[in-house]
Amino acid sequence: MDKRSKILQIARYLETGDYSQTLIAKTLHVSKNQVSIVKKVTEQNGWTLAELTQMSDDELQKYFRRKDIPISSGPRETIYRIPDYEWMCKELLRPGVTKSLLYEEYVEECIRSRNIYYQKTQFYDLFERSLKRKSFSEIIRHKPAEETEVDWTGDPAQWTDSDTGEVVTGWLFVGVLPFSGYGYAEVFPDMKLSNWITAHVHMFEYFGGTTRTLVCDNLKTGVIKHPVTGDAVLQPDYEAFANHYGMIVAPARVREPDDKPTVENLVGKLETHILARLRNVQCFSIEEYNMEVRRELDRFNAKPFQKKEGSRLTAYQQYESAEMNPLPSIPYEYFIKKTAMAQSNCCISYGKNYYSVPYQHIGERVTLRIYNDRLEVWSGAEHLCTHKLVIGKIGVYQTDNNHFPPYSSNYGNWNSDRFRRWAREYGPYTYEVIDRLFSGGGAEQKYYNGARSILKLADQYTRPRVEQACQLALRHYKRPIYRNIKAILYNGQDIKELALPNTQSKQTDSHTEQSHVRGAEYYARKKD
């Protein structure tokens, strides 16, 4: 390749604006100094590739020799139209707008107004300088409100349990908007799915809106499978969350941290700015710790940039907040899905507690949605009812009287009278246990399971033993329930009682069958 061809080839690559000087030198097998000379001469004289092509070999060698870089002495005093880079910087924030499009519009406007325009290389160079001056350097890589990157930090957070004094460990969730660098952080006790989704909900509430895309790591809480080819298989609840907020989840590739470089960088910064700063701050609950985290987070976002004007907060407020998608009217709530059978007492069972459902669904398998504070019952796509979730207790009934059918002596062949008649066949003590059970108040249907369970003990232990166990239970409990009588039978206390003399109470006549007479041993203890 002769000198003329080299100069024209270098000028052709430079005019595209898509290649660095180093890449041009490597591609054309020339020195970087040669590329630099051609760049400087063409920019200083405003020459285009077409104009260079019209020059003779002598002219090219004259203007592009390696020593001094002369300026053309020809009659070329031109006044270029200066682009409005301030306006262009803001336009570049809008979806679909590129530097190439802005250059085309600039050229078209110059042609219409008969002004001289910059060539693409010089236009790009001046544009780049303006972007850096205006703190818009990230525009080249990111668009405002385009995506959110999320991750967990590697180092744990620690606070002290106020009751035990033990050190408790948690994990810091981090989210960031790559354009402005505006971040979010919150500590959770673990990285389970419920906390993973809750962290996202809190993050977008802090941002005041959502982005179009969500970039996450390959944790099982977000991505079930990430094949080499094809779309990733998302965790269903995480995908439901994204759909609720109208977002697209784009998981990073396996072992490719460059797919989410902003959050990877922010993780390290927040570990220093938050976790390291709080290492000597004593907190006695996760709530108290997160209050300190929020204070440090706000300070971090408001901290001025070192090499450009503004801060993450001001960049977000000025250029990104208005572009965020609005939050849905109802925030997403994570829930566990279970199925249960609506029993004859109009209740379903969950966590050893009972919740009523409309009697029309007795015998039907329904779907439960268990949230942090409530339980919803669904039949297909039909919402049946909602109950406050019982936490930390067992055997509790959450009922709504409207769910039970009108009282009827023949409804389903079962009611309290039917259970009493069944208990009378066992004996007066069994009858009294069942009668006291139904005297607890409220809708009688909630006692059906308990009554049936007591009477069905006869299938395993015989009716006489159940009667004796009920007598013993009445001595110790005001309203005996199934587990009291079951324990007596299981441990054989009724049999031991029968083996002891003077322990059986005599029954009264049939007119007082609902009461019982104390044994001689009882009255002997009273006299003592």
Q: What is the DSSP string of 119-148?
A: -HHHHHHHHHHHHHHTT-GGGGT--TTSEE
Say yes or no: 130 and 53 in one domain. Answer: no
Classify residue 495: in a domain, yes or no: yes
Alpha-carbon gap, residue 422 to 162, rounded angstroms: 53
Name the domain boundary from 356, 385, 403: 403
**How far apart are alpha carbons 367 and 374 in whole angstroms?**
14
103 & 151 share domain: no
- What 3-state class would DSSP assign to 484? helix
Same domain flag for 243 and 294: yes
Q: Which residues contact 518 (CB under 8 A, 6 or more apart)?
A: 505
* DSSP-derived 3-state class of residue 236: helix
Task: Answer whether residue 194 is part of any domain.
Answer: yes
422 and 488 share a domain?
yes
Backbone angles phi, psi at 384, to 5 degrees: -90, -45
Domain membership of residue 73 (yes or no) is no
Residues 429 and 380 in one domain: no
Q: Is 122 a member of any domain? A: yes
The answer to the question of residue 72 being in a domain is no
Determine, yes or no, domain membership for 330. Answer: no
Q: Are 38 and 52 in contact (CB under 8 A)?
A: no
**Does some domain include residue 76?**
no
Distance CA 433, CA 471 (A): 9
Instruction: Kindly state whether residues 450 and 518 are assigned to the same domain.
Output: yes
**Helix/strand/coil percent split, the chain, to 5:** 45, 15, 40
Domain span at residue 113 reads 85-134
249 and 374 share a domain?
Answer: no
CA dihedral 458, 460, 464, 468 (to 10 degrees): -90
What local confidence, expressed as pLDDT, does residue 123 receive? 84
Q: Please identify which residue in the block is written with the tokens 């899905």.
A: 337
Are 305 and 166 in a shared domain?
A: yes
Whether residues 493 and 345 fall in one domain: no
Same domain, 198 and 277: yes
DSSP, residue by residue, 162-210: TTT--EEEEEEEEEEETTTTEEEEEEES---HHHHHHHHHHHHHHHTSB
Q: What is the CATH number of the domain that holds 273?
A: 3.30.420.10
Give the Cα separation of 463 and 450 in Å (integer): 17
Provide the domain count of the chain: 5
Q: Are 220 and 358 found together in one domain?
A: no
308 and 341, same domain (yes or no): no
Could you say which of 75, 110, 134 is where a domain stops? 134
**Which tokens in the block code for residue 232?**
């990733």
Q: How far apart are the C-alpha atoms of 214 and 197, rounded to whole Å?
A: 12
pLDDT of residue 487: 92
Among the residues of 224-357, which ranges form H helices? 236-244, 261-270, 286-302, 312-315
Query: Which pLDDT value is given to residue 66?
Result: 53
Contact criterion met (CB below 8 Å) for 316 and 182: yes
Q: Which residues of 240-257 are buried (b: 16+ CB within 10 A; e: fewer)?
A: ebbeebebebbbbeeeee
How far apart are alpha carbons 311 and 414 in whole angstroms?
A: 72
The number of CA neighbours under 13 Å toward the Cβ of 240 is 13
In a domain, 141, yes or no: no
* pLDDT in single tens digits along all 528 residues of the chain: 567 778 888 888 787 776 778 878 877 778 888 888 888 888 888 888 777 877 877 777 777 765 444 433 333 444 677 888 777 877 776 666 777 888 888 888 888 888 888 888 888 888 777 776 655 555 555 678 888 988 888 788 888 888 788 888 999 999 999 888 899 999 998 888 888 999 999 999 999 999 988 888 766 665 655 554 445 567 788 888 889 999 888 876 555 555 556 666 777 788 778 888 888 888 888 999 999 999 999 999 999 877 667 888 988 998 889 889 999 998 998 888 899 999 877 889 999 899 999 988 988 999 999 988 899 999 998 999 999 998 878 878 888 878 877 654 334 456 788 889 999 999 999 999 999 998 887 767 778 888 989 999 999 999 999 999 999 999 989 999 999 999 999 988 888 876 665 544 444 333 334 444 444 343 334 333
Tokens of 111: 């042609």
CB burial class (10 A; 0-12, 13-18, 19+) of residue 107? Answer: middle
Closest by alpha carbon to 444, among 411, 475, 466, 470? 411
Q: What is the C-alpha separation between 28 and 30, in angstroms, rounded? A: 6
